Amino acid sequence: MPIIKIEDIAHVRFAAPDLSTMRSFLEDFGMHCFEESGRLYGKGSDGQPFVHVTEPGDAKFLAVGFRAETIADLETLAAAEGLAVEDLNEPGGGKIIRLVDPDGYGVDVVAGQTMGEASVPFPDAPRNSAAAKVRFRANVRLEAAPAHVHRIGHAVLKVRDFRVSEKWYKDRFGFLTSDEVEAAKDVPLGAFMRCDRGDKPTDHHTLFLAQLPGPLGLLHAAFEVANLDDLMLGHQHLKTKKREAAWGVGRHIMGSQVFDYWKDPFGNELEHWTDGDLFTATDPPQKQPMSALLAVQWGSPHPMFAGKMPPPPGLVAFFTALNIRIKRLFSRQPKGRPA
């Protein structure tokens, strides 16, 4: 039984040496930005007071934030963790407790924030298809512009030991596994996990923990945009602005989202996505091979496989599984030092 069940992801938190440079990127990415008390905030159109925070400092990912349903839930979690509930002195107010996960990532849990009015400023226009002609005597005329970020959807963290981190997050927040990814049979490398909201449909994943080679860190944070046209117009706009593309456009297998990844000026990866899967608590977990993680249903191949001589996916999975097995063999108690 988890201590609480979180409602959703709330924000991601970064440090950067130049807030104006970060702001310029985030505005091209499609967030509404403002500064307050020396921090840069980015927000979408879902009414949350902020979904992206940057404070001055050396470029670094600082924390992922989750939203508890009530302040009473926050107090329950704080009591279990031996921590104090603090006032959240940021836009929207509310309360916060600050945790540190097994890999040293900051984990904010917030509740009681004042929400604004939600809107979707980019409309779903009628679309003609072979089966239905609903757009009649009306043209389509679109121009490249920043996509309309509506909300934050998920974060992906690289972890030292997937099972240790999975237990930590599930014990505290009640995450459910949507898809567990295996590098080889019985060698899990991570899982896409969603919030347990009972019968209420929730995103296929709010958190993906991945035990992959290389240094720890945030792999990406993802933000939902209005629809496919909005995503593609945003892609064109970021391309025109000569921003650094990372992967896209394409449609994932797990989660089914249409995706588009970009790097901010400090190396953090952010994703635009639309049309993702929704599940309830009764949908059972699935197991998927690593090939399904890296492949697409259509669109741009993963950058690892985009060169003239890409490695075979099976070879990548083999060495990933070997790496995990070796680490298991020599595993030690996580030290919990900062990532």
Q: What is the pLDDT of residue 339?
A: 41
Residue 133 counted as domain residue: no
Query: Please, which residues bridge with residue 151 across strands?
Result: 224
Q: What is the pLDDT of residue 329?
A: 76
Residue 142 counted as domain residue: no
DSSP state of 98: E
Tell whether pTM > 0.85. Answer: yes
Residue 120 counted as domain residue: no
Residue 39 counted as domain residue: yes
Q: Domain limits at 322?
A: 6-114+148-328
Q: What is the pLDDT of residue 326?
A: 82
pLDDT at 267 over 90: yes
Q: What is the band of 332 on the pLDDT scale with cuts at 50, 70, 90?
A: low
Residue 215 counted as domain residue: yes
Q: Taking all residues of the chain, what is their mean pLDDT, rounded to a whole number?
A: 94
The average pLDDT across 19-43 equals: 98
Question: What three-state secondary structure class fits 317?
Answer: helix
Q: Specify the number of domains making up the chain.
A: 1
pLDDT at 337 over 80: no
- Express as a percent the part of the chain with pLDDT over 70: 98
Could you tell me the two tokens for 301? 């191949």
- Tell me, what CATH number does 315's domain have? 3.10.180.10
Q: Which of 18-27, 266-275, 328-337 has the lowest mean pLDDT?
A: 328-337
Q: What is the pLDDT of residue 81?
A: 97
Per residue, the 3-state secondary structure of 177-202, as one string, reads: EEEEEEEECCEEEEEEEECCCCCCCE
Q: What is the pLDDT of residue 320?
A: 85
CA–CA gap between residue 34 and residue 306 (Å, rounded): 37
Residue 274 CA: distances (Å) to CA of 8, 23, 80, 149, 175: 17, 23, 37, 10, 22
Q: What is the band of 87 on the pLDDT scale with cuts at 50, 70, 90?
A: very high
Q: What is the band of 338 on the pLDDT scale with cuts at 50, 70, 90?
A: very low
Which residues fall within 8 angstroms of residue 178, CB to CB, at 6 or more apart? 191, 192, 193, 194, 204, 205, 254, 255, 277, 279, 283, 285, 286
Q: What is the pLDDT of residue 311?
A: 80
Residue 335 counted as domain residue: no
DSSP state of 128: B
pLDDT at 335 over 70: no
Residue 132 counted as domain residue: no
Report pLDDT digits (tens) over 283-320. 999 999 998 998 999 999 888 887 777 787 788 888 88
pLDDT at 134 over 60: yes
Cβ count near 243 (within 10 Å): 18
Residue 198 counted as domain residue: yes
